[in-house]
Chain A
Amino acid sequence: MSYAYLFKFIIIGDSGVGKSCLLLQFTDKRFQPIHDLTIGVEFGAKIVQMDGKTIKLQIWDTAGQESFRSITRSYYRGAAGALLVYDITRRETFNHLATWLEDARQYSSPDMTVVLVGNKCDLEHRRQVSKEEGEAFARAHGLSFLETSAKTAFHVEETFTEAARTIYEKIKQGKLDLNGDFQGVKVGATANTIQLQQNNQDERSGCC
């Protein structure tokens, strides 16, 4: 159960875009076509490996409904990353992205990593939002972008690892202040030792 880092993620986006299904596909590797409406927030966890380090991802799946918006807002602050999900077969979910992003920027720490996710790309025949539009939005707001299918598991793993990698890179580059107020990342028991070893190695290599 020991880990080098623990990242807290949240999944946000309109109701019915497949947030819970993405989480289920990622943590349990299964797809549930009829998912109950998420009430409040659900929680899931998974461990991924990155550069030989164990990184634990805690993912909080929020309710997309407007009525739960104020509850969802409570989760922004403590999150290291957010998956902003829309449904490529429903344009309105794409249109609402700006509102979501605004909310996230307002209530989250400025260091929060946001990945834009266009879900349900298995339903190509019902597509209403083109991939280019998604890419353009992501570019305009400085987000990573991926199209996924929680049904076929296409790009699901990649989405989470992409988010984790971005955060990991930020940590490596020292962009995140892990000792300060940023709560989305926790340094585990093994992280320090690895860092120390790395430092030692660095020193050694420097000597040589």
Chain B
Amino acid sequence: MNLLSGAFKYVAGIDEESYSSGGLSVERFIDRIVGSSLPQDRRAALRELIDLVKKDVASREKVAKLGVKVFVAILQQDRPYQETIVQTLELLILLVTQIESEKIAEERLLDEIDALEVSRQVAHENTQIFVKYPGAVVQLLDLLEEEDFSIRFNIIELLTALLANDPVLVQQKILEASQGVTKLMDLLKDRREVIRNEAILLLTALVRNCEEAQKILAFENIFELMFDIVESSIQQAEAQRELLDFSDGHTVEESVKDRKKLVTNVEIEILIHDCLLLLFSLLQKNESNQKYFRETGCIPRLNMLLDLKGTEISLVSAQRGENLQLALELLLSLVDDSFKSSEIQQNKTLCATSGILKAVIHIALAPFPDSMCIVCVRAFQSWKLLMKNHKENRTYACSISVLDPQSRIPIGCVVAAFDICCTDSSPAVRLAAFELVELCVMEDIQDSNNFIKALEKKNENCELDTDNTYNHHMQVLSLNLLDTVIGWPEEADSAAVFYACRLLSNLLHKLDSGRLYLLRTAIGPGREAFLVKCMRSLSRAERNHANASLKIGILILMSTWLYSCSEAVQLFLSSAMHLPLLIEMATKSPQHEDDIHVQGLAALVLAVCLGTETDSKNVLVSVVRQRIGVTNFVAKLDEIRASDLFILAYTSKNYLIPDSLLKNNLGAHLDEKLGHRYWYDPISVQLFNQVYFSLQKQILELVVTSDDEDRKEYNSSQTEKWNDSYRQDLSNSRTREEFSNAEAYKSIIREQDKQIEKQHQRLEELERIVAELQQELDSQSKIAIESTRKELDERNARLESTNLQLKDALDRIAYLENLLNEKEADLQSISRACTDLETENEKLRGGSSGDTGTTTLEGNVSSSKHSEILPQEITSNDNVAIKEEEEPPKVRDERDSVYSLFEENNRLQRRVEDLLAAIGDWESYCEAMKVKLKEEREQNERLKIVARDSELIKDGYEGSLKKLQQQLDQCKKELSNREEQLRILSQENQQLRADSEHMKYEPDVSTQEFYRASEESWSFSPKLDRDPILTHSRLLRWIKNTLMEHINSFVTMEERNWKDLDNLLHHFYLRLEQLSKTVVFLKNKYHSMKYIERTNPLKGHILEEEQEGDLSDLFQGKKNSSVSFISSSKDDFPLVTSEEYLEDVDIQNEYREALSYIEELQEKNSNIANMVSLYMLECQRQYDVLENNAFGRIQLQVDLLDDFITKLNKLMRKLNILVK
């Protein structure tokens, strides 16, 4: 029954390298486990392996490496044999646990620290080997189904050890296992308390910095379960106590009983502590769980953890104190204002209604011993947070009365808190109480203003409000405050006075009217003015060499009070004692490092007086000048401004928190009562600076102007009063010296002012320039595109106009050709008519020779000889007549007939004459026509030549067209080059945002379009021959269009790039903000943990380690999330986010990488922008060249055509002339 054959194969397949003897034995044991067919044998082998590992620490690594498969196989297959399982689990625990330092020391292994380090590393590596082995964690979780105690217990131990070694990995594996967290959660329902308690610790380790596990546990009702456990154990403890009390005192000795009581109590307190720790881990930094915590009504259940009723404070154990502290910290995390406000407000209300606030107040005011002062501090902090920005809670809390521990009379709890602030032995508690009281007073003056009311009542000497407890308490507090300010040394110590002064001064700062009310206030049996009392207290402190903080407190109060309140200054200066006291304080040679602050603040009070217009100002000026000296005076103020304490208060807001005092508590301090030297807070710093700057100019002016006056004054006074002229001279010369010093100083300051001004201006200019550059950068590409677009439009318009012109020219040519044809047709018809006429003429000539015979001969006779023709005819007619007269017989008749004949002859002759004339005309016309014809033919010849010429020109055109076509081809080539470049660009774009598929898709599409366009251009290129000019324009238009398309695509790409970048930047910024917030929060948490360490070193150590783990885990988590965020934003498709877990990189590196990544992106983008602009320029240039060529050619053609037309016109004109 070899169940482990699979594992056997694995082990057998390992390369047998040269193992050490230990290694060999390890292998032998593992072989035995694999080879053994009986479970007993396997068990024995395991036992031996455990012994080996226990003995030989160095073998652990090898055992883990070689055995992990086998062990997992055992867990899987040997389930029926519990003992085997338990042994395997024990072995695994051994492998992943760090060796304790005592053992190392015992065995003298290497150097102790090195050995520790090595053991930690081995444990870590073994953890990884085991956890990363597929199915290992799942197998462990499945084994939890077994009810067996030792199996469950060992699994819990093993998982806890694994989580301690590599929390993130193990958490991940448990989350990946189906319902893994749920299975662990079920362990809490185990009836065996040991298992349950161990499971609580395991869950605490599991949910640390693991929000998902936290939420799953919340879903599984962990909150209620925890409170159930706490409640039942508290009840159990009470029951046991009662039982012990009840049992007979005689049989059981008191001490035994007490010890028993103590033991059960401690056990239960530890259990409660573990529960609280788990709750704390579940709620910290998890808004969703906090919300669920409230939803499930768990906040009121906190009450039982905070309830001190029936508990003797002196009997509270350290563990109980720690539990209280933890419970209060839990509460603090629920009401921390820095998160969601609406939820927090609800939490606060709930805390008040459920009695938690009251319980917190009781804890805060309870007299805990100094070792547990942190409980009080946390209670004060919780109390403060519960009231902050929550008027109802504040009114409620301040109305609560408690019994005064000494006098046993009920007093307001705020009053009691102020008492604690004034008297407590722990500086941290004092500060925490002060912060609470300050919050109450400062928020009170905004609505009820009981401070003023109390002063009024005091002045009118009537009773305080008693009908309203809240008002009453606040008014009592106000009066106690005043008493404390002047109470030194009998009623208040220096720290109490300091805190009272700070509170009063902050109050006056917020409440302008308070200054006058306070001024009218008289106090004490003698009803002296409060201001006078204050100064007397100060003077007493000065005389008795009291603590610096006392003096500083009163001086700060005075400066705030006097600031911009002339009445107060008046009253202040009216006493002869005040000014000398201040002068003395300011000029006394410092004996202690704190004295510079006292001196400076005394100078500040003087400065405040100087800044206020009063009657005695001149006196003040001269006193300052003569007794202190202006330079010295300013130097005193400067010394404070230069001190670290002042700078600290100026630069950081929350530099002083009670926790820092807890830390400092161990070191001896100058002022034990106050516990710190942070005398300045932001309000006093602000006041100081205001006074300082307003006086800086004024003092200089006063010095300059008052010099002359003073001298006059001094002269007069010299005659009147002063006798000691020497002293006067001395003082005068000193004044002069000071004056010159001041002059130099002034000039330097002026120069510096100027320089600063200049620097400011330069800075502004630079900023402006940067902004402009940014704008330009943004708009440049757009402008460029716009301008090219415009230019293209213009060119296009011009092209079209030229095209039109050409068309016109063509029309004209066509018209002229038609005209020519018509003319030619006319010519032909004329010539035809001419020949017709000739033939007719011939005919006529033939006719006339038949009739007259002679006429033909006379055909050539010109019309000018017309008169000669007639007589000849007459003679011929005469001849006819003679012939007729030769007929004798019928002479008369014949004569008549001859007559008629003669007449007829005459008629005929006339007709002939007419005809002849007509013939003559025609003949001349024919001649002319012939001449014309000849000319016409010549003309034709010439036209033919011209036509041939034009044919040649046409050939020339065709040649040039071919050239153009070639150029077009070149152009295409170049365009394809551009296309290549475009593709390169698009590739770069791809690199840039490898994520965005569609971004890549865009240029591809445009290239395809480009291809199509170029193919189209190929297809229509044959048309070029037919229609040269139009094709040119089409070509140009096409070029323009493609350019436009490219420009547009680039613009869109560019815009998208910028938008993406913006988004990315925005997201980064947000993420970084979040990160920095959490980092700050963590730091605070880390600090607080340090203090826990102080109060309880052992527990604190663990806590601190945990916290360190927290920190790094959070960094890791945040880093992962930011990485996943980056990858998600890269992918544009959020489905693939945060699946990968990257290696350890510091978060700052991450940040820097992110920044550099952004810079890279920007660089690349700008590169692209450059390339785009270059490409545009190139295209533009190309286009210009092409256009110029085309335009030149068109121009040439137009010119030639024009020439042709003019020639034709000339010819036409000639023809017309000829025709005419």
Q: How far is the CA of A91 from the CA of B804 in the complex (A)?
A: 59
Q: Would A107 and B219 count as touching, CB distance under 8 A?
A: no
| Contacts A41-B212, A58-B295, A70-B177 given; does A75 touch B1139 at CB 8 Å | no
From 59 to 93 in chain A, residues with beta carbon under 8 angstroms from any chain B beta carbon are 60, 65, 67, 70-71, 73-78
Pick the contact of A77: B182, B1134, B1137, B1138 (CB < 8 A): B182
Q: How far is the CA of A15 from the CA of B216 in the complex (A)?
A: 20
Interface string of B403-442 (1 = CB under 8 A from A): 0000000000000000000000000000000000000000
**B221 contact set on A, CB distance < 8 A:** 78, 183
Q: How far is the CA of A45 from the CA of B1128 in the complex (A)?
A: 30
Pick the contact of A183: B211, B220, B292, B1134 (CB < 8 A): B220
Q: How far is the CA of A54 from the CA of B291 in the complex (A)?
A: 20
Q: How far is the CA of A107 from the CA of B295 in the complex (A)?
A: 26
**What is the CB-to-nearest-CB distance from A58 to chain B, in angstroms, rounded to a whole number?**
7
Query: B247 at interface (Cβ–Cβ under 8 A)?
Result: no
Q: Would B1137 and A74 count as touching, CB distance under 8 A?
A: no
Q: How far is the CA of A37 from the CA of B297 in the complex (A)?
A: 29
Q: How far is the CA of A75 from the CA of B1128 in the complex (A)?
A: 26
Pick the contact of A107: B178, B181, B211, B291 (CB < 8 A): B178
Q: How far is the CA of A82 from the CA of B175 in the complex (A)?
A: 21
Interface string of A166-195 (1 = CB under 8 A from B): 000000000000000001000000000000
Q: Would A74 and B1135 count as touching, CB distance under 8 A?
A: no
Query: B288 at interface (Cβ–Cβ under 8 A)?
Result: yes
Query: B176 at interface (Cβ–Cβ under 8 A)?
Result: yes
Nearest B-chain residue to A103, judged by Cβ: B178
Pick the contact of B291: A16, A37, A41, A43 (CB < 8 A): A43
Nearest A-chain residue to B1128, judged by Cβ: A37
Q: Would B175 and A70 count as touching, CB distance under 8 A?
A: yes
From 1 to 54 in chain A, residues with beta carbon under 8 angstroms from any chain B beta carbon are 1, 8, 15-16, 37, 39-43, 45
**What is the CB-to-nearest-CB distance from B237 to chain A, in angstroms, rounded to a whole number?**
26
**What is the CB-to-nearest-CB distance from B289 to chain A, in angstroms, rounded to a whole number?**
8
Q: How far is the CA of A42 from the CA of B289 in the complex (A)?
A: 10
Pick the contact of A71: B212, B218, B297, B1128 (CB < 8 A): B212
**What is the CB-to-nearest-CB distance from B1061 to chain A, in angstroms, rounded to a whole number?**
19
The count of A-to-B residue pairs whose CB atoms sit within 8 angstroms is: 61
**A74 contact set on B, CB distance < 8 A:** 175, 178-182, 216, 219
Pick the contact of A40: B176, B182, B212, B1137 (CB < 8 A): B212
Chain B CB count within 10 A is highest, among A8, A41, A74, for A74
Query: B578 at interface (Cβ–Cβ under 8 A)?
Result: no
Q: How far is the CA of A77 from the CA of B175 in the complex (A)?
A: 15
Interface string of B1132-1151 (1 = CB under 8 A from A): 00110111000000000000
Query: B215 at interface (Cβ–Cβ under 8 A)?
Result: yes
Q: Would A73 and B295 count as touching, CB distance under 8 A?
A: no
**What is the CB-to-nearest-CB distance from B1063 to chain A, in angstroms, rounded to a whole number?**
12
Pick the contact of B220: A43, A78, A107 (CB < 8 A): A78
Q: Would A37 and B215 count as touching, CB distance under 8 A?
A: no
Q: How far is the CA of A183 from the CA of B218 in the complex (A)?
A: 13
Nearest A-chain residue to B216, judged by Cβ: A74
**B182 contact set on A, CB distance < 8 A:** 74, 77-78
Nearest A-chain residue to B224, judged by Cβ: A186
Q: How far is the CA of A67 from the CA of B181 in the complex (A)?
A: 16
**B1137 contact set on A, CB distance < 8 A:** 37, 65
Q: How far is the CA of A39 from the CA of B212 in the complex (A)?
A: 9
Q: How many residues of B contact A (CB 8 A)?
A: 27
Q: Would A67 and B179 count as touching, CB distance under 8 A?
A: no
**What is the CB-to-nearest-CB distance from B539 to chain A, in angstroms, rounded to a whole number?**
61
For the residues of A in contact with B, the DSSP-based class is mixed
Q: Would B179 and A73 count as touching, CB distance under 8 A?
A: yes
**A60 contact set on B, CB distance < 8 A:** 219
Q: How far is the CA of A65 from the CA of B212 in the complex (A)?
A: 14
Q: How far is the CA of A183 from the CA of B176 in the complex (A)?
A: 22
**A76 contact set on B, CB distance < 8 A:** 179
**B220 contact set on A, CB distance < 8 A:** 78, 183
| Contacts A60-B219, A74-B180 given; does A43 touch B175 at CB 8 Å | no
From 439 to 485 in chain B, residues with beta carbon under 8 angstroms from any chain A beta carbon are none
Q: Would A37 and B1134 count as touching, CB distance under 8 A?
A: yes
Q: Would B219 and A71 count as touching, CB distance under 8 A?
A: no
Q: How far is the CA of A1 from the CA of B1134 in the complex (A)?
A: 38
**What is the CB-to-nearest-CB distance from A196 to chain B, in angstroms, rounded to a whole number?**
22
Q: How far is the CA of A105 from the CA of B292 in the complex (A)?
A: 26
Nearest B-chain residue to A67, judged by Cβ: B1139
Q: How far is the CA of A70 from the CA of B174 in the complex (A)?
A: 9
**B180 contact set on A, CB distance < 8 A:** 70, 74
Q: Would A77 and B292 count as touching, CB distance under 8 A?
A: no
Q: How far is the CA of A15 from the CA of B1138 in the complex (A)?
A: 14
Q: How far is the CA of A60 from the CA of B216 in the complex (A)?
A: 10
**A73 contact set on B, CB distance < 8 A:** 178-179
**What is the CB-to-nearest-CB distance from A113 to chain B, in angstroms, rounded to a whole number?**
17
Q: Would A43 and B288 count as touching, CB distance under 8 A?
A: yes
Q: Would B295 and A45 count as touching, CB distance under 8 A?
A: yes
Q: Would A77 and B288 count as touching, CB distance under 8 A?
A: no
**What is the CB-to-nearest-CB distance from A80 to chain B, in angstroms, rounded to a whole number?**
12
Pick the contact of B219: A1, A15, A41 (CB < 8 A): A41
**What is the CB-to-nearest-CB distance from A35 to chain B, in angstroms, rounded to a whole number?**
11
From 248 to 299 in chain B, residues with beta carbon under 8 angstroms from any chain A beta carbon are 288, 291-292, 295, 297
Nearest A-chain residue to B215, judged by Cβ: A41
Nearest A-chain residue to B183, judged by Cβ: A74
**A45 contact set on B, CB distance < 8 A:** 295
Pick the contact of B215: A8, A40, A58, A107 (CB < 8 A): A40
**What is the CB-to-nearest-CB distance from A9 to chain B, in angstroms, rounded to a whole number?**
11
| Contacts A37-B1137, A107-B179 given; does A75 touch B288 at CB 8 Å | no
Q: How far is the CA of A75 from the CA of B182 in the complex (A)?
A: 9
From 101 to 154 in chain A, residues with beta carbon under 8 angstroms from any chain B beta carbon are 107
**A183 contact set on B, CB distance < 8 A:** 220-221
Q: How far is the CA of A42 from the CA of B211 in the complex (A)?
A: 11
Q: Would A75 and B1135 count as touching, CB distance under 8 A?
A: no
| Contacts A45-B295, A70-B178 given; does A15 touch B215 at CB 8 Å | no
Q: Would A8 and B219 count as touching, CB distance under 8 A?
A: yes
From 968 to 1010 in chain B, residues with beta carbon under 8 angstroms from any chain A beta carbon are none
**B178 contact set on A, CB distance < 8 A:** 70, 73-74, 107
**B212 contact set on A, CB distance < 8 A:** 40-41, 71
Q: How far is the CA of A73 from the CA of B179 in the complex (A)?
A: 6
Chain B CB count within 10 A is highest, among A1, A65, A71, for A71
Nearest B-chain residue to A189, judged by Cβ: B297
Q: How far is the CA of A8 from the CA of B219 in the complex (A)?
A: 9
Q: Would B1138 and A75 count as touching, CB distance under 8 A?
A: no
Q: How far is the CA of A73 from the CA of B220 in the complex (A)?
A: 13
**B181 contact set on A, CB distance < 8 A:** 74
Nearest A-chain residue to B220, judged by Cβ: A78
From 1118 to 1134 in chain B, residues with beta carbon under 8 angstroms from any chain A beta carbon are 1128, 1134
**What is the CB-to-nearest-CB distance from B517 to chain A, in angstroms, rounded to a whole number?**
46
Q: How far is the CA of A13 from the CA of B982 in the complex (A)?
A: 43
Q: How far is the CA of A16 from the CA of B297 in the complex (A)?
A: 33
Q: How far is the CA of A166 from the CA of B176 in the complex (A)?
A: 32
Q: Would A71 and B175 count as touching, CB distance under 8 A?
A: yes
Q: Would A15 and B1135 count as touching, CB distance under 8 A?
A: yes
Interface string of B172-204 (1 = CB under 8 A from A): 000111111110000000000000000000000
What are 23 residue pairs bridging A and B, where the CB atoms are less than 8 Å apart in the complex? A15-B1134, A15-B1135, A39-B1138, A40-B211, A40-B215, A43-B291, A43-B292, A58-B295, A65-B1135, A65-B1137, A67-B1138, A70-B177, A70-B178, A71-B175, A71-B212, A74-B180, A74-B181, A74-B182, A74-B216, A75-B219, A78-B219, A107-B178, A183-B221
Q: Which 5 A-B pairs have the closest CB atoms?
A: A74-B216, A40-B212, A37-B1134, A73-B178, A70-B176
Instruction: Give the B-binding residues of A (Cβ under 8 A).
Output: 1, 8, 15-16, 37, 39-43, 45, 58, 60, 65, 67, 70-71, 73-78, 107, 183
11 further A-B contacts with Cβ under 8 Å, apart from A73-B178, A78-B219, are: A15-B1135, A37-B1134, A37-B1137, A41-B288, A58-B295, A70-B175, A71-B212, A74-B175, A74-B178, A74-B180, A107-B178
